[in-house]
Amino acid sequence: MADTAPTLKLTSDGAMKVLQAAIGKARDMGVPQCISVVDTGGHLLAFCRMDGAFVMSNTSSRRKAETAAIYGAPTGDIPEGVDIKLALVTEGQRVNLPGGLPLIVDGQVVGAIGVGSGTGAQDLEVAKVGVAALEGAQRFD
């Protein structure tokens, strides 16, 4: 058994590609958004708060991205009650709001996108377009 394994890494160019696609979708929808793109550890690679987006959505978009990256799953699917307990035990770092999607390429999580400032459905729609911009990324329908 090997002691190391090769991994894929989201580049800054890849993160900007995801961000730009998401910004374009938000503009088309007429919904200004806060959009965060993070690496696998939840570290911020790219961010934009569009003109008119809620300032507090800076934090929620980043938390959505961090949660999706670390868990490798979309945000918003945790059963009610459990979500509150997880939020408490992680001091608000684990969120269950829709709009966070992992970036998965060849079965490996390489990062995530988090979107906030619209409704949950709008945030998710923008995030999906960001994911689709990354070559080879798993799609979420």
Strand 34-38 to strand 44-49: parallel, antiparallel, or no bridges (unpaired)?
A: antiparallel
What percent of the chain is predicted at pLDDT more than 70?
Answer: 100
117 DSSP 8-state letter: S
Residue type, 117: S
pLDDT number for residue 119: 98
pTM across the whole model: 0.94
pLDDT at 87 over 90: no
pLDDT number for residue 30: 98
Domains and CATH numbers, the chain: 12-133 (3.30.450.150)
pLDDT at 25 over 90: yes
pLDDT at 88 over 90: no
| Degrees, nearest 5: CA angle 44-46-50 | 120
137 DSSP 8-state letter: B
pLDDT number for residue 82: 82
